[in-house]
Copies of this chain bind each other. A is one copy, B any other.
Amino acid sequence: MAGERVQPATLSRSEAALVASEGKAPRTERGRKTLRAILDAAAIEFGEKGFHEGSISGITRRAGVALGSFYTYFDSKDAVFRALVRDMSDQVRDHVAPAIRAAPDQIAAERAGLSEFIAFVRGHKEIYRIIDEAEFVDPESFRLHYATTADRIAARLKAGAARGEIRADISDVHAWAIMGMNVFLGLRYGVWQDDVSPEAVADSIAEMLARGIGTK
């Protein structure tokens, strides 16, 4: 799962300030690497065991850091879980963003976003279990993840409408619909089975969207 990551991330200074507990943001590059290692270990720990069975000592063991280092950045198991949900939400956004930006038009952007999302999920299967468990462990993070994702989709669809690439009657309803499609297509073709390529799934959906909400 997390061990399959092809692009080990490091946190920028501003990201590290946001995910660590209040007043505990790392101030050095080394500190940011330790924080990144703790978050990656937490993804494996909670992904495999779930929140209730997962433990801080399991996280520090997997990360290869001392227990004290954990408390340098986080106040509690709840705090690292909350940070992890935020971090995974940001990782998905950052992973799909370049492909979306590089696309020649908004339908192509939706196609690229879905294809990249399914590919990302195949390498990070724990993401579903963690975000879904947030509904129970940390409902505010769960709600925030989906509300901000839907807002982001709505904003890019409306920008596409302003450029004449998307129908003018586009609304938040379409943004929630596209988010829902993407989540379930990621579950089916990313986590559960890989019998259809991410590109083929995205092609089918992009054709439907081109006719359904496109203007060409």
Chain B contacts for A173, CB-based, 8 A: 185, 189, 196, 200-201, 204-205
23 contacts between A and B (CB under 8 A): A50-B136, A129-B135, A129-B136, A132-B135, A132-B136, A133-B135, A133-B136, A143-B192, A146-B184, A146-B187, A169-B204, A171-B204, A173-B204, A173-B205, A174-B204, A174-B208, A176-B185, A176-B189, A177-B185, A177-B205, A180-B183, A180-B184, A211-B212
Contact with B along A167-191 (1 / 0, CB 8 A): 0010101101111111111011100
Q: How many copies does the complex hold?
A: 2
Chain B contacts for A192, CB-based, 8 A: 143
Provide the bound-state CA to CA distance between A205 and B205, in Å.
14
Provide the bound-state CA to CA distance between A208 and B185, in Å.
18
SS class, residues of chain A in contact with chain B:
helix
